Amino acid sequence: MAVFKDDSKTLTVLRPRESLLLENVPYCDQPRKSSDTLWEQAAEEVRSRETEGGEEEGGETVSERSVFLTGSKAGGKTSILLRCLDRDEPSKPTLALEYTFGRRARGHNKPKDIAHIWELGGGTSLSDLVQIPITPVSLRSLSVILILDLSKPNSLWETMEKLLQAAQAQVEKRQQQAQKAKSGAKHQTAVQSAARVLPKDYPDRELISPFPVPLLIIGSKYDIFQEFDSDKRKVVSKTLRFVAHYYAASLIFTSIKSESLMSKTKSFFSHLAFGLDRGKTMSCDSTKPLIIPAGSDSFSQIGSPPTTDVDITSLHAKNPKDLWKKVYERVFPQENTSEQRELKDPAKDPQYSEPQIDAMRAQKDQELDQYKRNAAKSWKGLELET
């Protein structure tokens, strides 16, 4: 199930199905099959509208984009999102998968651009929920934002790897579904997937593996990270530069305590959400916050993995990405947590704690254990008597 959050902070629980806007859907005089369900008819109407151009009164096209935001647990995702949307409200722990939206006015008496934003909470534990925001329809305008907690480098690679793998697998699955639908659909333009094609002059074009949709990697809590030892900062910075360039992604380090960094982060966010210019600021200096738009870096500029006491040939890496992973994990051994398994029971997740309810639950658990022990003794007594 998915949990949605709108501007009024009302929580609504819906079944995980592809969402369609059913309000004010006019009667369509196209012939319908008697077997068509309401959802199929609604989907057909939406496709019909999009084929006709998706124009509002006055000939202005409404731009709608989708942004999927995921990342480290308690990594500041909601706080960053609220700042990017100019919402002055306290952030709360994300409950599973939450939906909100942003709007941007183009001018007077003109339609507003809309960004549909999905935020996944729980770190890697709820990665299965990527199937809800990533659909064949959303692929046409989908972007992914990965927020990594720089203050926790020992869980950074594992978090990044699992979440990107989950998102990429779902995107590729939906693209295959969209292609199948396209081959048999009456209105082919309504189901086409926007395959990502890089310019021919993109740096290292033949050596990288572009993420299937635009990707932005944000390193959060830079205010804490900047206090780290310079050598460790260099390892994290160079590694994330490699990963970002490998996936043809943009990279920026930020902190909600810095107005300057948040302003630059908002520019990158608005570029994905509303198609605005992300600016020309760039910084590759590991002693400063990284700000690297996609296509601005190269493997030659990044250099080799920062190793001083490790023989690279002894790592037996399968490919460049695996080599960077092994070097990174030598410096920052990844924490072996059972987060994925433990958080399958939300009642044990500390972010949903309710002291009074938890105390009562603990008491009832004790009473249940006592009842089981007494019952076991009774059964043993009956066995002895017989």
Segment (H or E) for 218:
strand 215-220
Handedness of CA 123, 271, 242, 253 (dihedral sign): negative
DSSP string across 100-145: EEEEEE-STT-PEEEEEEEEE-STTTTGGGGGTT--TTGGGGEEEE
pLDDT of residue 188: 46
Q: Which two tokens stand for residue 152?
A: 């926790």
DSSP 61: B
User: What are the tens digits of pLDDT across the range 153-163?
Assistant: 999 999 999 99
| φ and ψ at residue 125, rounded to 5 degrees | -70, -25
Which residue type is seen at 83?
Answer: R
pLDDT of residue 246: 97
pLDDT of residue 17: 35
DSSP 55: B
pLDDT of residue 9: 39
DSSP 76: S
Q: Which residues of the chain have pLDDT under 70?
A: 1-36, 46-62, 182-195, 308, 310-311, 313, 336-349, 351-352, 380-386
pLDDT of residue 369: 87
Distance CA 204, CA 300 (A): 9
DSSP 17: S
Residue 111 CB burial class (10 angstroms; 0-12, 13-18, ≥19): middle
Q: What are the structural domain ranges in the chain?
A: 64-181+194-331
Q: Which residue has the tokens 């990844």?
A: 334
pLDDT of residue 338: 47
CB 142 within 8 A of CB 134: yes
User: What are the tens digits of pLDDT across the range 211-262?
Assistant: 999 999 999 999 999 999 999 999 999 999 999 999 999 999 999 999 999 9
| φ and ψ at residue 112, rounded to 5 degrees | -90, 140
Q: Which residue has the tokens 């793998």?
A: 165
pLDDT of residue 38: 75
Longest CA span, the chain: 90
| φ and ψ at residue 140, rounded to 5 degrees | -65, -20
Distance CA 245, CA 381 (A): 70
CATH number (3.30.70.3040, 1.25.40.80, 3.40.50.300, 3.40.30.10) of 64-181+194-331 reads: 3.40.50.300
| pTM exceeding 0.75 | no
CB 319 within 8 A of CB 266: no
